[in-house]
Homo-oligomer: A and B are copies of this chain.
Amino acid sequence: MKESNVDVLIIGAGPAGLMASNAFAAAGVNVRVVDKRPSKVAAGQADGIQPRTIEVFQSYGLADRLIREGNQMHFAAFYNPAPGGGITRDGRAPDVTAPTARFPFEVTLHQGAIEAIFIDSMKSNGLQIDRPIVPESIEVSGDDSELNSPDSYPVKVVLRHLDAQEGESGTEVVHAKYVLGADGAHSWVRNAIGFTMDGEQTDYVWGVVDMVPTTDFPDIRNRCAIHSPSGSCMIIPREGDVVRLYLQLSNEDAKEVINAKGRIDRTKWGPDRLLEIAKRSLQPFTISFPKEVEWWTLYIIGQRVASSFSLKERVFIAGDACHTHSPKAGQGMNASMNDSHNLVWKITHVLRGWAHRSLLKTYEFERRKYAQDLINFDKKFSALFSGKPRTEDNQDGVSHEEFLEAFQTFGGFTSGIGIQYLPSPISRVLSENASNIASNLNIGTRMPPQIIIRAADARPFELHDLLPSDTRFKVIVFSGDINELGAQKDRLAHFASAACGEDGVLSRLGVKKLLSGRAQGAAGTVTSRKSWTTVFEVLTVMKGKKETVNYTSVPAEMVSHWSKVFVDDIEIKGINGGKAYESFGIGFEGAVVVVRPDGYIGSVLSLDDVQGLSDYFETFMS
């Protein structure tokens, strides 16, 4: 039987598996991804990308294509029973209510197109999906020294090639350092390692149908929450002229499609029944369906979380394999991809010998908590949405105001922007007065976007674009005004020497690291490459005026290239910029913000606290 070694084996090439595959490939990690399907998904399934997930796509250089190919949802429209029958619009409200979202909309695009974005990007880094392949067995070494060794391959997986020719064995053995089970709600990996799904199932049955309608309904291109006398309905406009409808089945209808085991039987209904419900729910507006339905399904809402996300920090599960919930809040695919986004840099740092294996414990710590929050949210939201609307005859129903308030309250959560990881070695308060140093930056949340101006050429940049998911920690030095304040210049000079100088903290940690071709900074015009640029990116954001600041004023030790120095000033066009210090709550004394490789704030320190910087990294770095 064929045997081979691989650093990371990913099982499953859905959204979670592909996000991980692409990120590992971009980082130059030795990775292999297998999937049981002979080809990628063509239509249907999950389709909504939240604002935070768009930011994550952008950090991998993939947002442009996502936005170009997808549809944007800016507005949510709310329809409720009209006094005289049928429905009427109670109002429109922003679909995204998180004020700091860089992309203030959701993107909708069918899952196959989203997967294609990853597949093409991976290919440019030399990685393709091996398929159709299924795992047959998985075994993790019980030997502690093997489990703790950086050089061992303690996970043994037997894979079966479904397209093996007669006479071929069809199976092979893969020895992996790490395995990621991203194989969906019925995860083989999860079952094989003995984790259970804990939670419950509701009685609500929903149908989903993707089609191209002809209609006089004026909100067909907005997200709509419709509470009609004929049941609840959600409209999600999609790329091109496609529209997705989520339709709640009445109790009578639900009985027709649930079999004796309490499972959905899709042979009982066709999409025509769903379209009939849509026609009734939208009255007095008319809607018809000149073309064939593109995709449809029926489902029962269930909310469950896996008992654990990781076995000995050698086998991990991500995505639907660890959490299932209702699709209507548009969370499923987002949660899945963000699981992988959280995990990949950690495994990469350990594989490179940069970090202790303890870093890997933060994956379950951060993501399982999130999955539980998600399920709690989903229960509340689903109940609200599936409940009867308030009408003359039903004063106990859900009112428009209640629903709208919930919609907006949940905005930080549904957008993904408001997520905050709890304190851990990688999101850590180190200065007692951290909350004064940058009073609006919350450790454990994602670094917010801001337009800043590059000092050398006055070109405006979105700070997020300076924080790519390139596996490096970013140290953003808000230097204050070093031209006006002599003391501030001295403090910066001290920081530069103590952090970035030849014997500085970052140099000490950075020099020890293995050199990875992909993680290197660009060569500089003005200053030579620093020893720390493999592991760290250092950016300086000065206070001052673009007309007078000189990038050459920043101590050369901390400037790896002329392009790394910025000023917090308004752009020449006069619209954006100049609000970084103010919006982050940073005063004239400046601040040092450590941003993790996944874009989340690791710590906030005073400019003088180089010891804090050292403490932060020493805790988990080798």
Contacts and interface: CB of A to CB of B under 8 A. Distances in A.
Interface of A: 64, 71-75, 91-92, 94, 104-105, 212-216, 218, 220-222, 237, 241, 456-459, 523-526, 546-548, 550-552, 562, 572-573, 575-576
Contact of A457 (B214, B222, B526): B222
A215 B547 CA distance: 20
8 contacts: A74-B457, A74-B458, A75-B572, A92-B458, A104-B572, A212-B525, A218-B552, A237-B457
A220 B456 contact: yes
B525 A222 contact: no
A79 to B, nearest CB: 13
B456 A526 contact: no
Contact of A526 (B73, B216, B523): B216
A92 B547 contact: yes
Contacts of A241: 523-525, 562
| Central interface residue in A91, A220, A457, by most chain B CB within 10 Å | A457
Given A525-B212, A547-B92, A575-B575, A459 B562 contact: no
A182 B547 CA distance: 41
A546 B92 CA distance: 9
Contacts of A576: 575
A214 B71 CA distance: 46
Q: Is the interface of A mostly helix, strand, loop or mixed?
A: loop
A75 B546 contact: yes
A619 to B, nearest CB: 37
B74 A526 contact: no
Given A215-B526, A237-B457, 12 more contacts: A72-B459, A74-B457, A75-B572, A91-B547, A213-B525, A214-B525, A214-B526, A216-B552, A218-B550, A218-B552, A222-B458, A575-B576
A462 to B, nearest CB: 14
A195 B546 CA distance: 49
A546 B575 CA distance: 22
Contacts of A573: 104
Contact of A73 (B457, B524, B550): B457
Lowest 6 A-B CB distances belong to which pairs? A218-B550, A221-B457, A221-B456, A74-B458, A241-B525, A75-B458
Contacts of A212: 525
A457 B75 contact: yes
Nearest to A217: B552
Nearest to A576: B575
B572 A94 contact: yes
A456 B216 CA distance: 11
A75 B572 CA distance: 8
Contacts of A72: 457, 459
A457 B95 CA distance: 11
Contacts of A552: 216, 218
A63 to B, nearest CB: 13
Nearest to A524: B241
Given A572-B104, A575-B575, A551 B75 contact: no
Contact of A74 (B71, B221, B459): B459
Contacts of A94: 572
Contacts of A548: 92
Nearest to A91: B547
B75 A525 contact: no
B551 A218 contact: yes
Contact of A562 (B221, B524, B550, B572): B221
Nearest to A94: B572
Nearest to A527: B214
Nearest to A93: B547
Contacts of A221: 456-457, 562
Contact of A572 (B74, B218, B220, B459): B74
Contacts of A572: 74-75, 94, 104
A116 B459 CA distance: 25
A17 B399 CA distance: 64
Nearest to A562: B221
A50 B174 CA distance: 56
A552 B222 CA distance: 14
Contacts of A105: 459
A223 to B, nearest CB: 9
A93 to B, nearest CB: 8
A446 to B, nearest CB: 18
A54 to B, nearest CB: 14
Nearest to A218: B550
A94 to B, nearest CB: 5
Contacts of A222: 456-458
A458 B550 CA distance: 41
A94 B546 CA distance: 11
Nearest to A575: B575
A315 B221 CA distance: 49
Contacts of A575: 575-576
A94 B459 CA distance: 11
A241 B525 CA distance: 6
A99 B597 CA distance: 39
A214 B572 CA distance: 27
Contacts of A551: 218
A104 B94 CA distance: 30
A70 to B, nearest CB: 11
